[in-house]
Chains A and B, each alone.
Chain A
Amino acid sequence: MFFNGKARSVGAKRIEVQNFQASPSNTNTSFNFIAMNKTWIIIKREYSSRVRKKTFILSTLLTPLLFIAVIAVIAIITIKNIKEEKIAVVDGDGILQSSLENSKSVRYDFTAGIDTGNFAAKGYSAILLAPRTGINQTDNFKIITEKSLSRFADDRIRKDINRALENKMISQELKVDPKRIDSIKNRAETVAISTTKRGEDGNMKESNLGVASAIGYVTGFLIYITLFIYGVMVMRGVMEEKTSRIAEVIVSSVKPFQLMLGKIIGIGAVGLTQFLIWIVLIGIMSAVASSLIPPEVLLQVQQSQQGMPGGSEGSSDAIRTLASAQTTLSSINWPLVIGCFLFYFLGGYLFYASLFAAVGSAVNEDAQDAQSLSLPITLPIILAIFIMMNAINDPGSSLATWSSMIPFFSPIVMMARVPFGVPDTVPYWQLAVSMILLVSGFLFTTWLSAKIYRTGILSYGKKPSWKQMIQWMSR
Chain B
Amino acid sequence: MILELKNLKKYYATQKAVDDISFSIEPGSIFGLLGPNGAGKTTLLRMITGIFYPDEGQILFNGKPFNAEKDIEHIGYMPEERGLYKKMKIGEQALYLAQLKGLSKERAMVMIKEWFVRLEMETWWNKKVEDLSKGMSQKLQFVTTVLHKPKLIILDEPFSGLDPVNSNIIKEEIFNLAKGGATVIFSTHRMEQVEEICDQIVLVNKGKKILDGTVKEVKQQFKQHLFRIGFDTMPALNDHPSFDIIKQNNEHLLTVRIAEGQSPNDVLNYYLQQDASIISFNEVLPSLTEIFIQLVEGTPGARQFQNVNA
- Interface residues of A, Cβ cutoff 8 Å to B: 27, 31, 34-35, 38, 41-42, 45, 49, 240-241, 244-246, 248-255, 458, 460, 471
Whether the Cβ atoms of B100 and A38 lie closer than 8 Å is: yes
- Interface: B50 (CB within 8 A): yes
Query: Could you mark each residue 22-65 of chain B with 1 if its beta carbon is under 8 Å from any beta carbon of chain A, else 0?
Result: 00000000000000000000000010011100000000000000
Whether the Cβ atoms of B100 and A244 lie closer than 8 Å is: no
- Which B residues are in CB contact (< 8 Å) with A245? 79, 81-83
- Interface residues of B, Cβ cutoff 8 Å to A: 13, 46, 49-51, 69-70, 72, 75, 77-79, 81-88, 96-97, 99-102, 141, 144
Whether the Cβ atoms of B79 and A249 lie closer than 8 Å is: yes
Whether the Cβ atoms of B83 and A458 lie closer than 8 Å is: no
Given contacts A249-B82, A458-B46, A471-B13, contact A41 B51 (CB under 8 A): no
Question: In the complex the two chains form, what is the Cα distance from A404 to B280 in whole Å?
Answer: 91
Whether the Cβ atoms of B81 and A460 lie closer than 8 Å is: yes
- The smallest beta-carbon distance between B233 and chain A, in angstroms, is 60
Whether the Cβ atoms of A41 and B83 lie closer than 8 Å is: no
Whether the Cβ atoms of A244 and B85 lie closer than 8 Å is: yes
Instruction: Beyond A45-B96, A49-B87, list 18 extra A-B contacts (CB 8 Å).
Output: A31-B70, A240-B85, A241-B85, A244-B83, A244-B85, A245-B81, A245-B83, A249-B79, A249-B84, A250-B97, A252-B49, A252-B50, A252-B72, A252-B77, A252-B79, A253-B101, A458-B46, A471-B13
- The smallest beta-carbon distance between B124 and chain A, in angstroms, is 17
Given contacts A41-B96, A458-B46, A460-B81, contact A252 B75 (CB under 8 A): yes
Closest 9 CB pairs of A and B: A245-B83, A252-B77, A253-B100, A244-B83, A248-B79, A252-B49, A246-B83, A245-B81, A41-B99
Question: In the complex the two chains form, what is the Cα distance from A280 to B152 in whole Å?
Answer: 52
- Which A residues are in CB contact (< 8 Å) with B75? 252
Which B residue's beta carbon lies closest to that of A467? B13
Can you spell out 27 A-B residue pairs with CB atoms less than 8 angstroms apart? A27-B70, A31-B70, A34-B69, A41-B96, A41-B100, A42-B100, A45-B96, A49-B85, A241-B85, A244-B86, A245-B82, A246-B84, A248-B82, A249-B77, A249-B78, A249-B82, A249-B83, A249-B141, A250-B100, A252-B50, A252-B72, A253-B101, A255-B69, A458-B46, A458-B51, A460-B81, A471-B13
Question: In the complex the two chains form, what is the Cα distance from A179 to B218 in whole Å?
Answer: 118
Select B85's contact among A246, A251, A460, beta carbons within 8 Å.
A246
Question: In the complex the two chains form, what is the Cα distance from A38 to B86 in whole Å?
Answer: 21
Question: In the complex the two chains form, what is the Cα distance from A251 to B69 in whole Å?
Answer: 11
Whether the Cβ atoms of B100 and A254 lie closer than 8 Å is: yes
- Which B residues are in CB contact (< 8 Å) with A45? 96
- The smallest beta-carbon distance between A103 and chain B, in angstroms, is 61
- The smallest beta-carbon distance between A190 and chain B, in angstroms, is 64
Which A residue's beta carbon lies closest to that of B86? A244
Question: In the complex the two chains form, what is the Cα distance from A251 to B50 in whole Å?
Answer: 9
Question: In the complex the two chains form, what is the Cα distance from A458 to B51 in whole Å?
Answer: 10
Question: In the complex the two chains form, what is the Cα distance from A244 to B141 in whole Å?
Answer: 13
- The smallest beta-carbon distance between B73 and chain A, in angstroms, is 8
Whether the Cβ atoms of B97 and A253 lie closer than 8 Å is: yes
Question: In the complex the two chains form, what is the Cα distance from A41 to B101 in whole Å?
Answer: 11
Which B residue's beta carbon lies closest to that of A471? B13
Whether the Cβ atoms of B69 and A31 lie closer than 8 Å is: yes
